[in-house]
């Protein structure tokens, strides 16, 4: 059954089955809340993985785009009384446009230099949020009105869950489609060999900016929804630490694997909740797990496990 092995069919079927079955074990609101945060982080990571995993371009500032989505929605609805859907669309479009403007100059840089430039971008976003306190509430954060769709307010954990997982499924589907298209192969070619990509006719600068914009749009969409869902937004979501968290999820789950990004987001969002059993050693335990994973599975969780499964299958078939 070859369709089961293909990410675009088998993987999608597995994802839909998991999100559909999950409410069976989500027995209280807290579990729902964790599941919703997992899905929102996963949306950011699926976009970020297109940039980092597939196109091979690092960004240490994506919390900036997440924050632009979150604060854009918050400010437009709370301070200017915009309808939340219009605010959401505007905030996402603004993030995409900003990514386009910033992307052109900084994506000329490579490797460590690109890391530094994106880091700077994220730090500037954090400073703006912290100092523009009349708009953003400064370090204290600000409340965000609930999301309303066509006059109906989105409330209740279960409702939010279905909306957010539907968007995650959509995000994953779009990403899988992109990767298996000529445009997606062009992105993977950039990380394989930029010079070879150029000599077959791929305008690398344009492709990099394009994937940067796509990843920023994913981050801003998740940021905006996170703000509405939580009802409150603080600068910590725009911080450098949050950018690192997002990159870590992508790397941990497995670069250049869309489902890896989802699994990475799921593990690293739930793990801190589970590790509260370790009390004051929580962060140490988290660090040890991450170090161990990267030492023994340097390609990340999903690609390593997939390779292992393929090897086992091959051994079973060979008598």
Q: Which residues bind other proteins (CB under 8 A)?
A: 174, 177-178, 180-186, 188-189, 191-193, 195-204, 210, 256
- Residue 146: DSSP 8-state: P
> Which of residues 174 and 275 has its CB atom nearest to other proteins in the complex?
174
Sequential DSSP letters for 247-279: HHHHHHH-TT-HHHHHHHHHHHHHHHHHGGGGG
Cα within 13 Å of Cα(163), Cβ side: 19
CA distances from 309 to 254, 287, 313 (A): 15, 27, 6
Least separation in angstroms between residue 218's CB and other proteins is: 12
Task: Indicate the residue among 22 and 305 with the shorter CB distance to other proteins.
Answer: 305
Of 210 and 228, nearer to other proteins (C-beta) is 210
In the complex, least distance from residue 180 CB atom to other proteins, rounded to whole angstroms:
7
Q: Which is nearer to other proteins, 174 or 297 (CB)?
A: 174
How would you classify the pairing of strands 142-143 and 232-233? Answer: antiparallel
Q: Tell the smallest beta-carbon distance from residue 170 to other proteins (Å).
A: 10
13/288 with CB nearer other proteins: 13
Using alpha carbons, list the distances in angstroms from residue 271 to 45, 198, 214, 287: 16, 42, 28, 11
The radius of gyration computed from the CA coordinates of the chain, to the nearest angstrom, equals: 20
């Amino acid at each position: 059954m070859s369709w089961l092995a293909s990410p675009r069919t088998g993987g999608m079927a597995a994802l839909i089955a998991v999100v559909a079955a999950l409410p069976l074990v989500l027995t209280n609101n807290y579990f729902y809340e964790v599941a919703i945060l997992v899905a929102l982080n996963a949306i950011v990571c699926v976009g970020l993985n297109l940039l980092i995993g597939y196109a091979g371009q690092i960004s240490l500032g994506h919390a900036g785009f997440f924050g632009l989505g979150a604060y854009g929605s918050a400010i437009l609805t709370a301070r200017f009384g915009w309808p939340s859907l219009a605010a959401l669309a505007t905030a996402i479009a603004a993030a995409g446009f900003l990514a386009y403007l910033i992307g052109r100059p900084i994506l000329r840089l490579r490797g460590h230099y690109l890391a530094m430039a994106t880091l700077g971008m994220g730090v500037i976003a954090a400073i703006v949020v912290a100092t523009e306190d009349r708009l953003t509430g400064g370090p204290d954060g600000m409340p965000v009105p609930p999301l309303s769709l066509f006059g109906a307010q989105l409330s209740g954990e279960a409702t939010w869950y279905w909306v957010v997982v539907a968007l995650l499924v959509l995000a994953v589907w779009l990403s899988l489609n992109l990767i298996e298209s000529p445009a997606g192969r062009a992105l993977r070619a950039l990380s394989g060999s930029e010079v070879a990509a150029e000599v077959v006719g791929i305008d690398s600068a344009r492709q990099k900016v394009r994937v940067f914009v796509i990843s920023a749009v994913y981050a801003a969409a998740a940021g905006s929804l996170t703000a509405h869902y939580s009802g409150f937004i603080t600068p910590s979501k725009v911080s450098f630490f949050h950018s690192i968290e997002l990159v870590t999820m992508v790397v941990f789950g497995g670069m250049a694997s869309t489902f890896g990004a989802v699994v990475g987001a799921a593990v690293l969002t739930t793990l801190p909740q589970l590790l509260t059993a370790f009390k004051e050693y929580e962060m140490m335990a988290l660090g040890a797990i991450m170090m161990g994973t990267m030492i023994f599975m340097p390609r990340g969780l999903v690609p390593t496990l997939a390779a292992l499964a393929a090897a086992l299958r091959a051994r079973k078939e060979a008598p």
